[in-house]
């Protein structure tokens, strides 16, 4: 199991915004029911603007064992998020986890 499968902090720390064109309704991959409208052509993963934030697609317990329910279909910001980055360290810190 890699570190991300034991973590999930970044899926429960930030707003996850992306283009509406990544949704299934617009020919993309992200299931429409997991997305909320923001403004214009921007949408957001459901749950990531709640407090505390937690993406509706995330299953499991943060810092123990997690999975993304739409891993194959997740949006660009999730694909581009880098394990070991500053943002990764910030997300982990919010959940009491040491940096990688
Ligand atoms: S916060 Fe970092 S280690 Fe944790 S799941 Fe995200 S990228 Fe992986
Ligand atoms: S779509 Fe998956 S990878 Fe992206 S924030 Fe949600 S649970 Fe995490």
100 domain-assigned = no
Atom of ligand 1 nearest to the CA of 66: 5
Number of folded domains in the chain? Answer: 1
Predicted structure pTM score: 0.96
What residues line ligand 1, using a CB cutoff of 6 Å?
A: 3-4, 7-10, 81, 83, 88, 91-92, 100
49 domain-assigned = yes
Can you spell out the DSSP letters for the chain?
--GGGG--GGGGTS--EEEGGGBGGGTSSB-GGGEEEEETTEEEETTTTSSS---TTEEEETTTEEEETTGGG--HHHHH--TTSHHHHHHHHHTT----
34 domain-assigned = yes
* pLDDT in 10s for each residue of the chain, 100 residues: 699 999 999 999 999 999 999 999 999 999 999 999 999 999 999 999 999 999 999 999 999 999 999 999 999 999 999 999 999 999 999 999 999 9
| Domain span including residue 79 | 3-94
Span from the CA of 49 to the centroid of ligand 2 (angstroms):
13
80 domain-assigned = yes
32 domain-assigned = yes
């Amino acid at each position: 199991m890699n570190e991300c499968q034991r973590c999930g902090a970044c899926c429960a720390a930030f707003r996850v915004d992306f283009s509406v064109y990544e949704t299934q309704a617009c020919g993309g991959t992200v299931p429409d029911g997991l997305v909320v409208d923001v403004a214009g052509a921007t949408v957001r993963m459901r749950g990531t603007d709640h407090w505390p934030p937690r993406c509706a697609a995330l299953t499991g317990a943060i810092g123990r064992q997690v999975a993304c329910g739409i891993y194959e279909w997740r949006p660009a910001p999730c694909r581009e998020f880098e394990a070991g980055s500053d943002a990764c360290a910030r997300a982990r810190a919010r959940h009491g986890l040491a940096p990688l």
